[in-house]
């Protein structure tokens, strides 16, 4: 992807080696190598840590151990415990915590936005499990709803991808439900949702209207002008059909998400109230709150 195609002509590179990111067992083995000289507390479970680091490369895992050791040193601990690894993992995945002072209205809006994501992640049957919900700013994000897959995945179903998009749209739909309008906070969510639905329709044939076509749609080209030199695979009419289908599917998924949050308004309010008070909620905290509201709804 990052080499000019001229460099890859036959005779120049006779061997091409594909390296996948390490699976769970490999991650545990890599962690074991990097912690050999690190004093670990008894509560550190490398297998559990490997399960919580899906998608990490070997370099990422080395960085995780180093960050955890630095965290322990900053807290004057003689051993690196599980909490140190959790903080290090958050720092790598979510970014550094920022001391950003939001006014009460903005803080509430962030809470409802993140709770919209969290509720969709919790209830959608094919979504990755919810891990954490926080309204503490990390990196460039004002709040974070974290999900962690149960296991390594190499292929994805259409139902999984649609639920994933619903989770992405949950923040925007929550804003629309509560305030009657949306904010700029959903910019990245919309960008990711649009890119994903474009691939679903154009590359993976996940549209009854467009059919089973695999086109070079949504692919990024590293070298400037490469896409200009490639022959176009479809007509202007097909391009219009694809654009229309992207818009149609996104609008349908947005409506389904908004309808779901409207139906679960009590859960949304209860979760927002809790995260405004505590700032960070674990998956267990979220489940407890939503189960209570579900029980009240049934009663």
Token pair of 209 as six digits: 């209207």
Scanning the structure block, which residue is given the tokens 């001391």?
A: 99
CA 172 to CA 112: how far, in whole Å?
Answer: 9
Annotated active-site residue 227? The verdict is no
Instruction: State CA 4 to chain mean position distance.
Output: 31
DSSP β-bridge partners for residue 144 = 134
Q: Up-side HSE of residue 230: CA atoms within 13 Å toward CB?
A: 15
Q: Which of 86, 106, 114, 236 is catalytic?
A: 114
Residue 47: count of CB within 10 angstroms of its CB: 13
Token pair of 55 as six digits: 């998608």
CA 49 to CA 23: how far, in whole Å?
Answer: 12
CA 128 to CA 39: how far, in whole Å?
Answer: 33
Which residues are known to be catalytic? Answer: 114
């Amino acid at each position: 992807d990052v080499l000019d195609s001229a460099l890859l002509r036959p005779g120049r590179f006779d061997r091409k080696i594909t390296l996948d990111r390490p699976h769970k067992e490999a991650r545990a083995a890599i962690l074991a190598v990097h912690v050999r000289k690190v004093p670990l507390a008894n509560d550190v479970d490398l297998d559990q840590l490997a399960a919580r680091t899906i998608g990490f490369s070997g370099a990422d895992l080395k960085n995780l151990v180093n960050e955890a050791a630095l965290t322990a040193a900053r807290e004057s601990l003689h051993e690196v415990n599980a909490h140190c690894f959790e903080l290090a993992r958050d720092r790598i995945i979510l970014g550094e915590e920022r001391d950003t002072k939001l006014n009460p209205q903005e803080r509430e809006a962030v809470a409802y936005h993140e709770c919209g994501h969290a509720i969709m992640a919790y209830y959608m049957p094919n979504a990755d499990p919810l891990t954490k919900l926080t309204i503490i700013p990390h990196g460039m994000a004002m709040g974070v709803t974290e999900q962690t897959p149960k296991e390594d995945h190499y292929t994805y179903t259409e139902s999984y991808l649609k639920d994933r998009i619903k989770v992405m749209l949950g923040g925007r739909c929550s804003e629309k439900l509560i305030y009657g309008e949306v904010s700029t906070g959903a910019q990245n969510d919309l960008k990711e949702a649009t890119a994903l639905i474009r691939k679903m329709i154009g590359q993976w044939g996940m549209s009854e209207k467009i059919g089973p076509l695999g086109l070079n749609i949504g692919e990024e080209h590293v070298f400037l002008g490469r896409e200009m030199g490639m022959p176009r695979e479809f007509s202007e009419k097909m391009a219009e059909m694809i654009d229309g289908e992207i818009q149609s599917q996104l609008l349908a998924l947005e409506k389904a998400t908004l309808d779901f949050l409207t139906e679960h308004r009590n859960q949304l309010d209860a979760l927002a109230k809790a995260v405004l008070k505590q700032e960070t909620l674990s998956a267990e905290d979220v489940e407890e709150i939503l189960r209570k509201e579900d029980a009240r709804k049934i009663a």
